[in-house]
Structure 1
């Protein structure tokens, strides 16, 4: 998008925002095991979950908030407030067309913040939002074959995942086109 490239050149920061859910059910992936001894995953069979709202910026930052319930419009506004505290200058947030991104309260919040603007990505286009790759990395690398016994265990592993995402500078690598 040429207009977004111009905003970056003008010193504005782009933030790619999205939400994701993590449950006690494991992300099953291929793994190694001794010949004749297939791996066995012992997992809880309930749907308890946590939800995370996060963003990566063109300056390489990764920000996130994790909640024990589904993300609602009020959490989106709280996260945008957090984002504005952490990012200097003007910020354009790119997000999908989820109903929680189109509430009247969110529109009023954006109107009242002169440093903030919002751009909606085309419908059904997760490939345009690089934070989707962060979520995929966390699920396929950090949570692969992980069977948490309860929500505190899951939250602890997610905390490690967020630290790893920052440590390996995943947002910068994704936005520059390097392999995660």
Structure 2
């Protein structure tokens, strides 16, 4: 991976990290407290609205390509997303898209993968199983969920707009370092 990252920084290849994540109106609680002897309880009546995102992070430029969904992200959403990435990729150099071993990333028709390779020099690189630490977009998801979000404004009817605004700000309003 270090060699690929070096080649991407030298503008020899395009290196994209791709994955999906979900965002909810209910914040992810990492820690909680309660008085001694009292069990901590979460509010079950809170809204369960979710928005899911599929994204591809360009390693060299930090640009984020993304699409939001108000339903689960499935294989039939991943293939068109990757196809759009292939068509918009730099045609004069190799584009490598790093993906994990989620089932929605597999079973893409060989003819589609061949088309991406021959027409766009666009290939998928599958990470080893159980190695999310190698997919740098996971760091972006964590930053967005735990550090960049403002939970006071995330109402059920505004969730999609808030998540979209957040991801449009990556690189301008929100910065991340992978060092």
Range of TM-score over shorter length: 0.7 to 0.9
Moved over 6 A (4+): none
Structure 2 regions of 5+ residues with no counterpart?
Answer: 32-41
- Check if 1:69 corresponds to 2:75: no
Residues 18 and 55 in structure 2, CA contact (< 8 A), matched pair in contact too: yes
Matched, 1:83 2:88: no
Q: 2:5·2:59 contact (CA, 8 Å) conserved in 1?
A: no
Flag the 1:142–1:10 CA change in 2: closer, same or farther, 3 A. closer
- Residue equivalent to 2:112: 109
Gaps of 5+ in 1: 31-40
Mapped to 1, the partners of 2:68 and 2:147 lie a distance apart of 19
Query: Contact conserved, 1:54 with 1:64, CA < 8 A, in 2?
Result: yes
What TM-score, normalized to structure 2? 0.77
Closer/same/farther in 2, CA of residues 49 and 4 from structure 1, 3 Å limit: same
Q: Within 5 Å, give how 1:137-176 maps onto structure 2.
A: 137-146=143-152, 148-150=154-156, 152-168=157-173, 170=175, 173-174=177-178
Partner of 1:99: 103
- Secondary structure of the 1:136 match is helix
C-alpha displacement at 1:4, in angstroms?
A: 2.7
State yes or no: 1:21 paired with 2:22. Answer: yes
Name the CA shift for 1:7/1:112 in 2 (closer, same or farther; >3 Å). Answer: farther
Separation of aligned partners in 2, 1:166 and 1:5: 18
Equivalent pairs counted in the alignment come to 162
The superposition leaves residues 46-105 of structure 1 with CA deviations (integer Å, 9 ceiling, x where unpaired) of 433111000111231211000111111121111112212333132111010000000243
Counterpart for residue 34 of structure 1: none
Quote the RMSD (CA, aligned, Å): 2.7
- Secondary structure in structure 1 of the residue aligned to 2:166: helix
1:136 aligns with 2:136: no
Q: Give the direction of change, closer, same or farther, for the CA distance of 1:125–1:25 in structure 2 (3 Å limit).
A: same
Mark the CA change 1:97 to 1:146 in structure 2 (over 3 Å): closer, same or farther: farther
Distance 1:6 1:26 in 2: 36
